[in-house]
Amino acid sequence: MNILLLGSGGREHALAWKMAQSKLTKKLYIAPGNGGTEEVGENISLNISNFEETKRFLISKNISLVVVGPEQPLVNGFTDNLANDLELNHINVIGPKKIGATLEGSKDFSKQFMFRNGVPTAAYQSFTKSTLSEGLAFLETLKPPYVLKADGLAAGKGVLILDDLAEAKQELTSMFEGKFGEASNTVVIEEFLDGIELSVFVVTDGKDYVILPEAKDYKRIGEGDKGLNTGGMGAVSPVPFAKGEFLQKVEEKVIKPTINGLAKDRIEYKGFIFFGLIKVNNEPYVIEYNVRMGDPETEVVIPRIKSDLVALFDACAKGTLANYKLEVMDETALTIVAVSGGYPGNYEKGKLISGIRDAQAGIYFHAGTKSDGDDLVTSGGRVIACTGFGNTLVKAKNNALTMVNSLKFQGKYNRKDIGNDLEGLI
C-alpha cells in the first residue's frame, strides 16, 4: 500500500524507518519529513491545512493509509476531514478524530474522562477567569508543591509546578491574563503526586488494544534532571522498575478503563494512546494522555518491536487487533538526543553535521536535520537521537554514547546521564 506519514521529528524518522521495512509498504511519503526520513521514503511538502491540496495528493498518489505523528493535525480535525469526504473516507488514518484528540487537547476534558471512567489520577479542580477567586481559595486548601496546568495545548510548556503559595496565586492570575494565550483560559489545579514517571503506549481501535514496549524519558536539559524542560533529551526502554506485576496493574487499572471509557462515551478511536504515568507506592496514576507517540520515546520503543508495524496499523484499521500478537526484543534500547547549543532557548540552525557512522549496535534517528545539497545541516533544536542497543542497560548506554560522541556539529550538546538513575534498579 501507499502510505503518508505526517511529521518531521525523530519520532517520524523512527516510524518511517520501521514502516519502510514492511512488505506491505509499496511507497512511503513523509510530509514534511527530515534529513533522515528521506533515506527511507520520499519527503514531500504538503500544506495539510489546505484541504483541497491534501485531497489532490491523497487521490493522485493512491494513498490508503495515513499515519499522523504529531497531535496538532488531530486536534485540528485532520481525521474528521478525511472521514467526512466521500472520495477520501476509504483511507485508513492512524490518529483519532477531533473528539478523541481532546484527550490531549484539553486537560479539563481528560480529567473529567478519567474521573468518569475510574482511571486513577490526581485530584483536581478547574477554573476560569470568572472563577479566579475560587481558584485562589482552592490553592490555599492545598499543600505545596502546587500544580497548575493550562487546559489547552501550549507546546509542552503549559504545566507549572510551584513551591510557593504566593507565586502559585500570581501565576494563576497571569495564566488567566493570557500567559499561554487561549490555552490557559481554563486552568486545571491538581494535587501533586510524588513518584517516578514512565510512559506506556497502546495502539487501539477503540475496542481492542495492543500494548507496545514501555519507556522512560528525560525531559530536563541538564544532567541530574536539572534546568529547563525540553521536548525530551533521552529515553530508555524497557523500564526496569516497571516489571510484570506493575504492568499488569497498568493494564487493569489504566488501559482497560480508558478503552472501555472510549466505547462508553461513543468516542471512535483509531490510533495511539500514550499514557503518561507516575508510579506512587507501587500504584499507577495517569498524569496525562497523549494521542500520539512520544518523542524521543518512539526512538526506543519502535526499534524494540520485531513485528511488522504496517501490519499492526492494518489490524487497527480493520478492527482485528484482538488476534494480533506483538513480538518485542528483550534487548534494552537507550537514546541520547544531541541538541543545538542554546536549546530549549534560542539556537542557531544550518550547522554542518558530520560523524554519522555506520553504527553496528544502534541507529541514528534524525530530528532537526535537513539536507542542503550533498550536506546534512541542523534545522531544529533537537537534532539527532542516537539509539544504542545492548543486552544490559549499561551496554545500550555505552553504545549510544559512542554514537553521540562521534557526531559533530557546531554547538552540539547532549546529556551523558540518560538512564543513570535506573542502573541500580536492574
Footprint on this chain of ligand GLY (rule: CB under 6 A) = 217, 232, 290, 294-295, 297
3-state SS of 251-307 is HHHHHHHHHHHHHHCCCCCCEEEEEEEEEECCEEEEEEEECCCCCCCHHHHHHHECC
φ, ψ of residue 95 to 5 degrees: the values are 145, 130
User: Which distant-in-sequence residues (6+ apart) come within 8 Å of 110 by Cβ?
Assistant: 102, 103, 104, 288, 289
- H/E segment holding residue 391: none
Q: Which is nearer to ligand AMP, 149 or 292 (CB)?
A: 149
Q: Which does 294 bind (CB under 5 to 8 A by kind): ligand GLY, ligand AMP, none?
A: ligand GLY
- Which positions from 204 to 243 touch ligand AMP by CB under 6 A, shown as an x/- string? ----------------------------------------
Grid cell at residue 18: 520501521
Q: Find the part of the chain contacting ligand AMP (CB under 6 A) among 10-18, 75-83, 131-139, 192-200.
A: 192-200
Residues 129-158 that bind ligand AMP (CB under 6 A): 147, 149
Q: Find the part of the chain contacting ligand AMP (CB under 6 A) among 41-49, 126-134, 186-194, 307-315.
A: 186-194
210 vs 310: CA distance, rounded Å: 14
Tell me the chain's radius of gyration from C-alpha atoms: 21
Q: Which is nearer to ligand GLY, 92 or 199 (CB)?
A: 199
Q: Which is nearer to ligand GLY, 295 or 314 (CB)?
A: 295
b/e sequence 268-286, b meaning 16+ C-beta within 10 Å: ebbbbbbbbbbbeeeebbb
Q: Does 401 bind ligand AMP (CB under 6 A)?
A: no
Q: Which does 401 bind (CB under 5 to 8 A by kind): ligand GLY, ligand AMP, none?
A: none
Q: Does 287 bind ligand AMP (CB under 6 A)?
A: yes
Query: How many CA within 13 A on the CB side of residue 334?
Result: 28
Q: Which does 223 bind (CB under 5 to 8 A by kind): ligand GLY, ligand AMP, none?
A: none
Q: Find the part of the chain contacting ligand AMP (CB under 6 A) among 184-192, 201-209, 298-306, 374-382.
A: 184-192
Q: Does 197 bind ligand AMP (CB under 6 A)?
A: yes
User: Which distant-in-sequence residues (6+ apart) come within 8 Å of 279 by Cβ?
Assistant: 195, 196, 197, 198, 241, 242, 246, 285
Q: Which does 192 bind (CB under 5 to 8 A by kind): ligand GLY, ligand AMP, none?
A: ligand AMP
Q: Find the part of the chain contacting ligand AMP (CB under 6 A) among 7-15, 30-38, 70-78, 188-196.
A: 188-196
CA distances for 260 relative to 108, 210, 255, 263, angstroms: 19, 14, 9, 5
Q: Does 193 bind ligand AMP (CB under 6 A)?
A: yes
Count Cβ atoms below 10 Å from residue 121 Cβ, excluding itself: 23
Q: Which does 297 bind (CB under 5 to 8 A by kind): ligand GLY, ligand AMP, none?
A: ligand GLY
Q: Which is nearer to ligand AMP, 232 or 390 (CB)?
A: 232
366 vs 192: CA distance, rounded Å: 35
Applying CB under 6 A, which residues contact ligand AMP? 122, 147, 149, 159, 190-193, 197, 276, 287-288
